[in-house]
Structure 1
């Protein structure tokens, strides 16, 4: 499965920046470090979103190609379906949902993304994004122009391997989502969602037992392929069974093993 969220932050729109044509590719080795370069070494998400094993010179070069971070306000879009693909994004803080629209105007949530996750890889194949990325709260992203990243991939094997891992992770995420929707009952889907949230927050150094849901019950239902009422009913049942303690959007996992057995 994949994705959930916790965090926050303020920003100008990215639309104008994305609409401008990409500059001619410049060899990554020729790019001098900028004064406004993002300091990945000081970022708490570095171990998740940055390649491992870079030399100090390679890390400096990596930082030099990342644009200064931007903040996307809650409810605003980072990019929309059919927008031209120019960059990928690392979520520095906050959380996003990715959605596609049905022909009748209904919204289908395809993923939840939190700090350390990447966004935008859906545009690599066709040159256009296939979904909308919407901030669930005030969120901050680092912008990585893809043509510059490709140039560095040709020069630094660790960066190339990291990009391959990110793309492979997208394949695994989509396969897990198909398994979730195709084989699990409603209670198993909700339990898996909570366990996934717990595990992903643990990897980021946060409490795996207590967290705040940034998405609505309706958005969770859309992602899990069940109705809002079913999500609420399953959560209430889990609380009655002593598996979780729920206070609005605040979740405390009381019996982790019991959730696994659902």
Structure 2
């Protein structure tokens, strides 16, 4: 384990289970210090992971849909530089055509998948130095160009909205040297991806982290998959 790896800190937003929890474990294994957030009193086994981490994992509670909690987290982390800020958030609420979706469901998915992640980026981005990376978990389903099959229409729309908002963020920070990433992890067997997905978490997450590390320092915004391939907008 190198001293440079030991000095790095990742902040993983949305890490109680699935891809987020696996990213925490992967970064710890690679020698990073990790701050991970969980929603409410549902930390999964992150508390046990933290207890075994010799102080390298700090678990914070955060509901990204509550701006006051995001502000409180920002205050708690003040003065603690973050080499990687990565926001992992996603809900689907079912596979329905748009005509079948209630306004309540539409609002919930769009707020959780698009608005709230960008609020987190806006609130916490000043913790990330010029050499750092800001990443958000997107999806191939957020690609307009790749939408040939429909399905999960509100989820698709929410990820497309997230991509657009991240692109606006990049445009407003055109002179910012930090690396900005929209990451598509592939179709993974999680509570979100379902049991029939093509990839296990262990097949996706190490490659997600490899891709983030490969892109670090390149600057600008890229929409890439877990293997580092560019995803069409």
- What TM-score do you get using the length of structure 2 for normalisation? 0.29
Structure of higher RCO (CA pairs closer than 8 Å, 6+ residues apart): 1
Q: Which has the higher strand share?
A: 1
Q: Which has the larger radius of gyration?
A: 1
